[in-house]
Homo-oligomer: A and B are copies of this chain.
Amino acid sequence: MATIEDVARLAGLSRTTVSRVINNHPYVSEEKRQTVRSAMEQLGYVPNSIAQRLRTQTNETVAVLIPRLSNPFFSHLVDAMEDIAALYRFQLIICQTKSGKEREILYLDWLKTRQIGGVIFASSENDWQDIKRYQQYGPILFCNEYPPGTEAPIIHLDQLQGGYMGTQHLIERGHTKIGYCYSGRQNTNIRDRFKGLKLALKDHGLSIKEDWIFKDAYDTKDGGRIYYEIMALKDRPTAVFTGSDEVALGIIAEARRNGTHVPKELAVLGFDDQPIAGLMDPGISTVYQPVKDIGKMAMELMIQLIRGGHPVQQITELPLHLIVRAST
């Protein structure tokens, strides 16, 4: 591998001049610039970026922490982030935490060892106090989810508004008895969404019964189970806010098998607008989350921070959109 020294020797100039050409410095005569260029060409020289990083104390790589990539929400999020990273020639390191506290810290340590220049949390299990101390080693920001009390930039989706909007839609369709499903996990997003639902109910003089709240709702299988739980109730909801397209799908599929008409006998609202939502028959009404948008914004901000911008405790909130199909 040719080094800057080799280029300098071949060009009959100093390393400094070569370095100046590499970094497009002014005060290099056009003549010498050409000499250096051709020497680099001739030797197939490219600067060693590891040496550059050591010297300049910069690191243009960003780690993104997500639970797992096989979750479409996160793969789409990272997709958008990588687009921006590539645009700025930044590297994107993927870190699957499997929702594990220790895994998160493991990756945060990479910030300490200078293996990465910054960290974007797309989900987080640790308390802010345990993450905070890593800020001294590089920028940290949150995209999508964040622990309570976070003192770092946050870009997220307005789950409260999403919960409100979805519920209002069901109310406008004439429903007064509305059920709700949520995964067992209790993060800020899920809590906010539920707050939105309750707020919308309250604003219309309605409320939710304890019986109409279904938990452990993760996938299609859970949806099937929940269908039966709903049907077993004496006083049952006429609409369900599922919080997940998979769960909605499960309920709808089971309803069809049992001859329960959707949406006449049971309206079902999904969440996320995953591809299946539009493909099902009936199509699933759902709440679309502009994932790509927050992904891009988060990466843009991170790059500015790594390049020397200073973090402000800003919270960016993007609204969700309602997509009405046949299931409501």
Q: Which residues of A contact B (CB under 8 A)?
A: 1, 46-51, 53-54, 59, 61, 68-70, 72, 75-76, 78-79, 82-83, 86, 91-96, 103, 109-110, 112-116, 137, 220, 249, 253, 256-257, 275-276, 279, 281
Q: Are B91 and A92 in contact (CB under 8 A)?
A: no
A93 to B91 Cα, complex, angstroms: 7
Residues of B contacting A94 with CB < 8 Å?
78, 82, 92-94
Given A48-B114, A220-B279, A96 contacting B68 (CB threshold 8 A) = no
Some 6 contacts from A to B, beta carbons below 8 A apart, are A46-B109, A50-B50, A70-B76, A75-B75, A78-B94, A83-B96
Shortest distance from the beta carbon of A215 to any chain B beta carbon, whole Å: 22
Q: Are B83 and A75 in contact (CB under 8 A)?
A: no
Q: Are A69 and B75 in contact (CB under 8 A)?
A: yes
The residue on B at minimum CB distance from A91 is B93
Shortest distance from the beta carbon of A268 to any chain B beta carbon, whole Å: 14
Interface centre among A53, A54, A94, A103 (most CB of B within 10 A): A94
Q: Are A253 and B276 in contact (CB under 8 A)?
A: no
Knowing that A91-B110, A253-B279 touch, tell me 18 more A-B residue pairs with CB under 8 angstroms: A46-B113, A49-B114, A50-B59, A50-B115, A69-B75, A69-B76, A69-B78, A69-B79, A72-B75, A78-B94, A82-B95, A83-B96, A92-B93, A93-B94, A220-B275, A257-B281, A276-B276, A276-B279
Residues of B contacting A75 with CB < 8 Å?
69-70, 72, 75
**Which of B48, B68, B253 is within 8 Å of A113, CB to CB?**
B48
A70 to B257 Cα, complex, angstroms: 31
The residue on B at minimum CB distance from A136 is B1
